[in-house]
Amino acid sequence: MSISGIHLKGVGVRLGDTDVLQDVSLDLDARTVAVIGENGSGKSTFARLIGGLLPRTSGEMGILGIDPARRAAELRRRIAIVFSNPDAQIIMPTVAEDVAFSLRADRLRPAELEERVSAAMERFGLTELAERPSHDLSGGQKQMLALCGAFVRNPELVIADEPTAYLDARNARRVADHLFEDTGHRLVLVTHDLALAARCDQAVLFAGGRLVALGEPDEIIARYEAVLAC
Ligand SMILES: Nc1ncnc2c1ncn2[C@@H]1O[C@H](COP(=O)(O)OP(=O)(O)OP(=O)(O)O)[C@@H](O)[C@H]1O
């Protein structure tokens, strides 16, 4: 089991009286991984599980060599999670304050904090919006802010759960380009956008709370499309 990837062995998640994930075993070592499957197949549950937001009820797992059940705080420091709805992640009154908030645990000197925040805002096209109230931004701008807050911490793993779901084509492309740009992070991307899934190095297909296929994206997407056509 490598210490840099995502490894699950016989993992199950039970919520209430439902087994939402059952007996999931996989080793994901590619830099970018797409997670696809029908509505309700367990993709978001998988994303929350590997992000340490949801406990497993059975099995063993290692995310970047960390068992989330034992070292959740360390895992949270090393990863970032992006959702479809950026409102869930925007906390502070202004754009610049919100980006700075993501670095609160690093206890940086004020000058260093300002430098990191400015560089990140520049990279995500937010410099002009720095003093704007975060909640007045458009949906596309808010998702850029959520991404900026995620990447400013230099995460080793970014888990994105349908990050382009509410965006127009141009903003969806911009968000995707940032996620795929190689900044030394791994990406796990849950998506219904199969063109986006095809850009990944590896893909997994879920159905009914089970992993049904793992492999080259083209092959996994073709298999999923065959299911959808039925
Ligand atoms: N808290 C919960 N209690 C019981 N069942 C749940 C809970 N959360 C999710 N589920 C169920 O788990 C299953 C998988 O949900 P999940 O959100 O992981 O699917 P998904 O593949 O991400 O779907 P979508 O594509 O619609 O976002 C669904 O049947 C859902 O109803």
What ipTM did this prediction achieve?
0.96
Query: 11-42 as b/e, with b when 16 or more CB fall inside 10 Å?
Result: bbbeeeeebbbbebebebebebbbbbbeeebb
Q: How far is the CA of 207 from the centre of ligand 1 (A)?
A: 11
Contact between 190 and 35 under an 8 Å Cβ cutoff? The reply is yes
User: What angle separates helix 139-151 from helix 110-123, to the nearest 10 degrees?
Assistant: 130
- The residue nearest atom 4 of ligand 1, judged by CA position, is 15
Would you place residue 230 in the very low, low, confident or very high pLDDT band (cuts 50, 70, 90)? confident
Q: How far is the CA of 48 from the centre of ligand 1 (A)?
A: 11
Tokens representing 77 are 């420091």
CA 156 to chain centre: 11
Q: How far is the CA of 188 from the centre of ligand 1 (A)?
A: 18
Q: How far is the CA of 36 from the centre of ligand 1 (A)?
A: 14
Q: How far is the CA of 200 from the centre of ligand 1 (A)?
A: 24
- The residue nearest atom 6 of ligand 1, judged by CA position, is 15
Q: Which residues pair with 6 in a beta bridge?
A: 28, 63
Pocket of ligand 1, candidates 41, 56, 164, 224: which has the most ligand atoms within 8 Å of its Cβ, to mutate?
A: 41
CATH class, domain 6-229, is: alpha beta
For residue 150, pLDDT beyond 70:
yes
Would you place residue 1 in the very low, low, confident or very high pLDDT band (cuts 50, 70, 90)? low
Contact between 34 and 203 under an 8 Å Cβ cutoff? The reply is yes
Q: Which residues pair with 92 in a beta bridge?
A: none
- The residue nearest atom 27 of ligand 1, judged by CA position, is 39
* DSSP secondary structure, 21-82, as one string: EEEEEEEE-SSEEEEEESTTSSHHHHHHHHTTSS--SEEEEEETTB-TTT-HHHHHHHEEEE
CA angle in degrees (0–180, nearest 5) for 105-106-108: 130
The reported pLDDT for the residue numbered 229 is 86
Provide the H-helix boundaries in the chain: 43-50, 72-78, 95-101, 110-123, 139-151, 169-180, 194-198, 217-229
Helix (H, G, I), strand (E, B) or coil at 169: helix
Over residues 19-35, the pLDDT tens digits come to: 999 999 999 999 999 99
Query: What is the reported pTM?
Result: 0.95
List all residues whose CB is within 6 A of at least one atom of ligand 1: 15-16, 18, 20, 37, 39-45
Would you place residue 74 in the very low, low, confident or very high pLDDT band (cuts 50, 70, 90)? very high
Pocket of ligand 1, candidates 43, 164, 204: which has the most ligand atoms within 8 Å of its Cβ, to mutate?
A: 43
The reported pLDDT for the residue numbered 2 is 61
For residue 101, pLDDT beyond 70:
yes
Pocket of ligand 1, candidates 13, 18, 196: which has the most ligand atoms within 8 Å of its Cβ, to mutate?
A: 18
The reported pLDDT for the residue numbered 3 is 66
The reported pLDDT for the residue numbered 192 is 96
